[in-house]
Chain A
């Protein structure tokens, strides 16, 4: 086990596309990162799955390297980060948010297989390095960052949060209606 107090930097920063696919046979969802200039949208069979293209958006992947000891943490298993807004005490992430309070922001590291059927998720080493990296970058002292793997969510598909992704950024979304003022038209 390393005794280095790591100082992390981003490395291997690559711009590409996060491609999402679904199996129309069993309903499974999967995603992968593509560096191709034209995003592949082909349907294909892989074992029992019949994958079809569901969508994609511009994304960036990166790894972390320690400036002191050179250790590299591979983050290829992470497809994105989500700021959790969950406060559900039945969910481990929600419980953690309630315990840590408002000055701590919890970010969920998302893996490619939201069902976790394969048993894998973003690695423990990756989650730890991400937490250390983002906290090392904080200068204001206003907040603390905690990164957790998405397998910690009770139901990741229903989990409340804001995904940091370059998709849907220009779409309308519903906002709570403002109380009407006197004289406003109905």
Chain B
């Protein structure tokens, strides 16, 4: 599924520039040590974590897009780091569970 389709159908707000790439799956985690052992390349990462360390982990495992639940927004230097890494950042007012359900209903696994 393309990023644009997920953005349109789940009303995401973009926090930086992004290319319309295919998303290969979904991973949900707030722990960076868990992300590097569990997340797959080109997937969507759903999290509450807005620290720079999250981008360092997401970059290592080639995450395609990060969605921050609960309308969380990272600091400017985190967005800048994501820009350098080519990682798209979005935010949603939904809580993690509600947004995960939306992704499931879209057919993402």
A residues adjacent to B (C-beta < 8 A): 10, 13, 15, 58-60, 62, 81-83, 102, 105, 107, 134, 137-140, 142-143, 145, 162-166, 168-170, 175-176, 178
Q: Which residues of chain A have C-beta atoms less than 8 A from B37's C-beta?
A: 10, 13, 60, 62
B residues adjacent to A (C-beta < 8 A): 21, 24, 31-34, 36-37, 40-42, 49, 51-57, 59-62, 64, 75-77, 81, 84-86
Q: Which residues of chain A have C-beta atoms less than 8 A from B21's C-beta?
A: 140
Bound-state CA distance A166–B29 (Å) is 12
Q: Are A175 and B24 in contact (CB under 8 A)?
A: no
Q: Which residues of chain A have C-beta atoms less than 8 A from B42's C-beta?
A: 139-140
Q: Are A169 and B32 in contact (CB under 8 A)?
A: yes
Q: Which residues of chain B have C-beta atoms less than 8 A from A105's C-beta?
A: 59-60, 85
Bound-state CA distance A163–B54 (Å) is 10
Q: Which residues of chain B have C-beta atoms less than 8 A from A58's C-beta?
A: 31, 33
Q: Which residues of chain B have C-beta atoms less than 8 A from A102's C-beta?
A: 84
Chain B residue nearest in CB terms to A18: B33
Q: Which residues of chain A have C-beta atoms less than 8 A from B59's C-beta?
A: 83, 105, 143
Bound-state CA distance A68–B106 (Å) is 36
Q: Which residues of chain A have C-beta atoms less than 8 A from B57's C-beta?
A: 164
- Smallest distance from the beta carbon of B63 to chain A beta carbons, Å? 9
Bound-state CA distance A166–B51 (Å) is 10
Majority secondary structure, B binding face:
helix
Q: Which residues of chain B have C-beta atoms less than 8 A from A145's C-beta?
A: 60
Q: Are A107 and B60 in contact (CB under 8 A)?
A: yes
Q: List 7 other contacts, CB 8 Å, given A81-B36, A165-B33.
A: A58-B33, A60-B34, A139-B62, A163-B53, A164-B60, A165-B53, A169-B49
Chain B residue nearest in CB terms to A80: B33
- Smallest distance from the beta carbon of A168 to chain B beta carbons, Å? 8
Contact flag A164-B41 (CB < 8 Å), given A139-B62, A142-B62, A169-B51: no
Q: Are B86 and A164 in contact (CB under 8 A)?
A: no
The 8 Å CB contact of A139, one of B24, B56, B86, is B24
Q: Which residues of chain A have C-beta atoms less than 8 A from B60's C-beta?
A: 81, 83, 105, 107, 134, 145, 164
Bound-state CA distance A134–B59 (Å) is 10
Q: Are A60 and B53 in contact (CB under 8 A)?
A: no
Contact flag A166-B56 (CB < 8 Å), given A138-B41, A139-B42: no
Q: Which residues of chain B have C-beta atoms less than 8 A from A134's C-beta?
A: 60-61
Chain A residue nearest in CB terms to B61: A137
Bound-state CA distance A82–B51 (Å) is 14
Q: Are B62 and A175 in contact (CB under 8 A)?
A: no
Q: Are B62 and A164 in contact (CB under 8 A)?
A: no
Q: Which residues of chain A have C-beta atoms less than 8 A from B51's C-beta?
A: 168-170
- Smallest distance from the beta carbon of B96 to chain A beta carbons, Å? 16
